[in-house]
Amino acid sequence: MSKVPSETGAAEMAAQSAADPRPTRRVGFLVYDGMAASEIVWQVDMFRQAPRAAALEGMSCPNFEVLLLGLQPGPVMTWSDFPMMAEHAFSDVLDRLDMLFVPGAPPDRMAHFETTPEYHRFIACAAAGGCRIVAVTTAAILIGQIGLLKGRRATTHSAYADLFRSRLPDVDFDPDPLWVEDGPIVTVSGAMPAAEFALEVIEREAGRALSFALAKAALMPIRRGGSQSRLSAALVMQMEATDRFDGMLQWLTENLHVQVTVADLADLAGMSPRNFARRFVERTGTTPARFVETLRAERARQLVETTALPLMRVAERSGLRDEQSMRRAFLKAFGQTPSGIRDAAKGEA
């Protein structure tokens, strides 16, 4: 495969760059048969909308040039059997990309990528040319198999953790973060974290106000950093709930300001304290006390970011007792103080 862009593709890009004085960031999205489209579509929209949103708000923003790339221009069939269109062939843009997003595919649909060496050569050449590679879910496994994760830390979706470990036993696998940035290689745990990472990139290039304007327009939930927990405490419990736990969780989320013991929660679940604590850890991977602390920190953060309540009142309403206890809980859960999170939220408004 040639490393020189086609004359037509290069001429078009040069003409566009000459006509636009803003710096250009070329962001490519690999499309291939069997891919999970959900792992790139939000990012495509965000990068294409960012310059327009910035212009409307009077903000500065690079020109994000978004390119859908395939073996050749034309349709590819996604794993859910609807087509996406590759706008350019690899050869049109090789050595001209700043970032390349590679979506994953379900394990039973990975064969097309794995048995097509042109994909491997393109990604390897792009990486060698200084392009940042962003691999979403099982794409981490795919790029790992062509050597791009050697000596690096990486992550993937928890559903594919065992597959990752079995195929890449020498890679430093981290199951906890939403995404891992290790030099020029980024591995992302899922479709929504990939969208959040795209906002992180936009924020670094154009500022926090623009990234949050895009998040608000998309009605996205509270932004998370890559190191934050993948699931909220309440969601974990809802996913794992039995009828007994479900009633206890509902009461707890409505009464976080009330100080409770493990015995109180066990009583709400209709279980003995010892059996409750054991079953709780089995289902959630954490103790009842830590779960309640995390749930309170999440509630407090919501109040800090969305209300003007004094921090003391936030602490009381979320069950964190006082400002000092809340500060410790925030540093542990979010790596930031309550006042720091509130100041950032004010800047985003």
Residues 33 and 171 in one domain: yes
CATH (domain of 102): 3.40.50.880
pTM score: 0.66
Domain-terminating residue out of 187, 217, 247 = 217
For residues 30 and 173, state if they share a domain. yes
The pLDDT, as a whole number, for residue 84 is 95
The H or E element that residue 253 is part of is helix 243-254
Distant-in-sequence, close-in-space partners of 7: CB < 8 Å, separation ≥ 6: none
Tokens of 309: 């309540």
The per-residue pLDDT for 1 is 35
Tokens of 179: 């995404």
Residues 200 and 314 in one domain: no
228 inside domain? no
Same domain for 328 and 191? no
Please tell me whether residues 258 and 210 are part of one structural domain: no
Residue 214 has a pLDDT of 86
pLDDT value at position 223? 54
Evaluate whether residue 182 is within a structural domain.
Answer: yes
Listed residues 217, 247, 263: the one ending a domain: 217
Q: Do 167 and 259 belong to one domain?
A: no
Token couple for 101 = 């997003």
Residues 273 and 197 in one domain: no
Q: 194 in a domain, yes or no?
A: yes
Q: State the angle between helix axes of 243-254 and 262-269 in degrees (0 to 180), rounded to the nearest 10.
A: 130
Whether residue 213 is found in the same domain as residue 98: yes
Domain count within the chain: 2
Distance between CA atoms of residues 315 and 329, nearest Å: 10
> Which domain CATH number covers 278?
1.10.10.60
227 lies in some domain: no
Indicate the residue among 217, 242, 273 that finishes a domain: 217
* Residues 137 and 156 sit within 8 Å (Cβ to Cβ): yes
pLDDT at 3: 38
The pLDDT of residue 158: 85
Domain hosting 313: range is: 233-348
Would residue 104 count as lying in a domain? yes
Residue 167 sits in the same domain as residue 291 = no
| Average pLDDT by stretches of 10, the chain with 349 residues | 41 51 90 96 94 89 95 95 94 88 96 95 94 97 96 92 95 89 95 91 88 77 51 50 70 87 91 91 82 88 86 93 93 89 73
pLDDT of residue 7: 44
Q: Are residues 68 and 107 in the same domain?
A: yes
Q: Is residue 223 part of a domain?
A: no
* 311 assigned to some structural domain: yes
| Within a domain: 142 | yes
Contact 244, 283 (CB under 8 A): no
